[in-house]
Amino acid sequence: MSISDGGVTVQNGAKSSLVVEVKEKQDSDLILLELKGALQNQRVEVFSQRGDGVLRYHGRMCVPDVGELRQHILAEAHNSRYSIHPGATKMYHDLSIGRMV
């Protein structure tokens, strides 16, 4: 589809703010900087960098131990509507409120 045909091409260029923050802070973590260097010299195989430049271990983002980033991620996951804790009624409560809306 093109503009001359009356169509519109849309590309989603949005990136997760979490991924951007992890990428920025990876450059402040000395251990991760060493791993990035080793990756470029092909001395490690379990680490990778995709097109976004974020260092990953077996496909999972390496979260640097810089500032409060790890605590921020844990708090966000813990407070998510979709988090489930064994023995807790949070999911039941969230679902029952969802039915009322």
Question: What are the Cα distances from residue 54, in Å, to 10, 15, 45?
Answer: 25, 12, 15
- CA–CA–CA angle 47, 67, 21 (5° rounding): 55
Q: Could you say which DSSP state residue 67 is in?
A: T
Query: What confidence score (pLDDT) does residue 2 get?
Result: 47
Phi, psi for residue 10 in degrees, rounded to 5: -120, 135
pTM equals 0.58
Query: What confidence score (pLDDT) does residue 101 get?
Result: 45
Query: What confidence score (pLDDT) does residue 20 get?
Result: 87
Residues counted in the chain? 101
Query: Chunked in runs of 10, what are the mean pLDDT values of the chain (101 residues)?
Result: 53 66 90 89 85 89 87 80 60 60 45
Query: What confidence score (pLDDT) does residue 98 get?
Result: 55
Query: Residue written as tokens 């804790």?
Result: 85
Query: What confidence score (pLDDT) does residue 84 get?
Result: 60
